[in-house]
């Protein structure tokens, strides 16, 4: 029996990278997974893979920077499976390492809406169901960038994610609902692959790199998924409000 046996989980950004690895691990651990992302074909492909692996899965196309889409994901999940036990707020975009002087107002807005507002919307709507059930686990995917070692928008959004993690944990500590975060270090995915890196503000990315140890090994998407799965499962039942850095110590100094 898996550690997520019979749990219903929503994983945002599950068609790629860390979210995809998380969806695969969740299914292997017995969960039903709702795969959410903007790209319909990519969502459907992952759902097919999960079904071939013997899992139960559903694709729901959504842009999680929009409140109405987040509401639709939650409604579709409850309609299909009757409840939500686990929410993984994983969807996100990088911000090209834009420093404040180079980051336009529009780009700041786009990044913060995607990486921060999405967590507020999804968590708020899922909680309506978790409160009724008296249990649930919310896992936010933060970043070592929360410490300021990314562009201005991404750093701000991920720091806010850490604060929201603790704030939600405090609000529901006396109930069976927990909220924690995994903060990945550099992890090979399309988010920071060669195509993405070509658009980075090279000078500021180099300045940020001086403040972390980039010579250490990188974690894999599967490493991040393992940490997310532990927070999602009852194995971490007495843990809430925590941010777990999965980065080989990259951000320790």
Q: How far apart are the first and last CA of the chain?
A: 40
Taking the CB of residue 129, how many other CB atoms lie within 10 A of it? 19
* 18 contributes a contact to ligand NDP by CB under 6 A: yes
Choice among 117, 121, 125, 154 that is catalytic = 154
CB of 173 to ligand NDP, least distance (A): 25
CA triple 179-182-185, angle to 5 deg: 160
Using CB under 6 A, which of 91, 119, 160, 169 touches ligand NDP? 91
* 191 contributes a contact to ligand NDP by CB under 6 A: yes
Non-local (6+) Cβ contacts of 135 within 8 A are 85, 175, 176, 177
Residue 102 burial (10 A CB sphere; 0-12, 13-18, 19+) = middle
CB of 108 to ligand NDP, least distance (A): 15
Residues 112 to 141: which contact ligand NDP by CB under 6 A? Answer: 114, 141
Window contacting ligand NDP (CB under 6 A); options: 7-15, 96-104, 165-173, 232-240: 7-15
Convert residues 19-58 into a mask of x (bound to ligand NDP by CB under 6 A) and - (unbound).
x-----------------xxx--x----------------
In the block, residue with structure tokens 């972390």:
212
Residue 2 burial (10 A CB sphere; 0-12, 13-18, 19+) = middle
Q: Is residue 117 annotated as a catalytic residue, yes or no?
A: no
The catalytic residue positions are 154
Residues that bind ligand NDP (CB under 6 A): 12-13, 15-19, 37-39, 42, 62-65, 90-93, 114, 141, 143, 184, 186-187, 189-192
């Amino acid at each position: 029996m898996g550690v997520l046996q019979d749990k219903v989980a929503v994983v945002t950004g599950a068609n790629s990278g860390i979210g995809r690895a998380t969806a695969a691990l969740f299914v292997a651990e017995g969960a039903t997974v709702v795969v959410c992302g903007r790209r319909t074909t990519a969502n459907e492909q992952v759902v097919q893979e999960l079904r071939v692996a013997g899992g139960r899965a559903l694709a729901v196309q959504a842009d999680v920077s929009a409140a109405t889409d987040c509401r639709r994901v939650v409604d579709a999940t409850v309609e299909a499976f009757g409840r939500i036990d686990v929410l993984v707020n994983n969807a996100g975009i990088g911000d090209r390492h834009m420093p404040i002087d180079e980051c336009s107002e529009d780009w700041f807005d786009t990044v913060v809406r995607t990486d921060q507002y999405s967590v507020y919307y999804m968590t708020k709507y899922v909680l309506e169901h978790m409160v009724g059930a008296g249990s649930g686990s919310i896992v936010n995917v933060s970043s070592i960038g929360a410490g300021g070692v990314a562009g201005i928008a991404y750093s701000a959004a991920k720091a806010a994610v850490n604060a929201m993690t603790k704030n939600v944990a405090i609000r529901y500590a006396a109930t069976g609902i927990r909220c924690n975060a995994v903060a990945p270090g550099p992890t090979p995915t399309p988010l920071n692959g060669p195509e993405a890196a070509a658009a980075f503000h090279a000078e500021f990315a180099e300045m940020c790199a001086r403040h972390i140890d980039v010579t250490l090994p990188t974690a894999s998407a599967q490493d991040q998924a393992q940490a997310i799965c532990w927070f999602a499962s009852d194995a971490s039942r007495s843990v809430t409000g925590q941010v777990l850095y999965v980065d080989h110590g990259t951000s320790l100094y």
